[in-house]
Amino acid sequence: MRRPISSGATVAQNILVLHGPNLNLLGTREPQVYGRVTLDTINQDLVQRAQAAGAKLAAAQSNHEGVLIDRVQQAKAEGVDFIIINPGGFTHTSVALRDALAGVAIPFVEVHLSNIHRREAFRQHSYFSDLAVGVVCGLGAQGYPLALDYALAFTAAQ
């Protein structure tokens, strides 16, 4: 549930962070592209930041499309207010995950560690960006706290 803050905006109280395929390898997989920060470090930082803001944050990673789809669908029943998602390789392939996000109608920000627009042509198209409230890409692990800051201040009126 959302609660008002002094500026008239609302704080998203229940945030879900989803990480797609191969993000479990962060820190060791192509560090020149994705950096050396591990997924555990990213998640721990996000949980601490959310708690400091009075919000609840859960994070999950899967290499399996169906698991991510199931988690998106569960989010609706759990009262998740906002999703931060790095779909990884599913960015360019998964109509099914896109449809799940559209189906639950929970606002979300799409995050990418690398700048997908400076990569191979097949990586430059996202099935999610047109549904997302916003996209953060190319800022490495720093993109996640930026997305969280936005989620914490998100208002439905925007």
State the catalytic residue, choosing from 112, 127, 144, 150: 112
Residue 112 among the catalytic residues: yes
Longest dimension (CA), the chain: 44
- If you write DSSP's letter for every residue of 33-94 in order, what string do you get? HH-S--HHHHHHHHHHHHHHTT-EEEEEE-S-HHHHHHHHHHHHHTT--EEEEE-GGGGGT-
C-alpha 102/C-alpha 132 separation (Å) is 9
84, β-bridge pairs: 17, 109
Choose the catalytic residue: 19, 34, 144, 150.
Answer: 34
Catalytic positions, please?
A: 34, 112
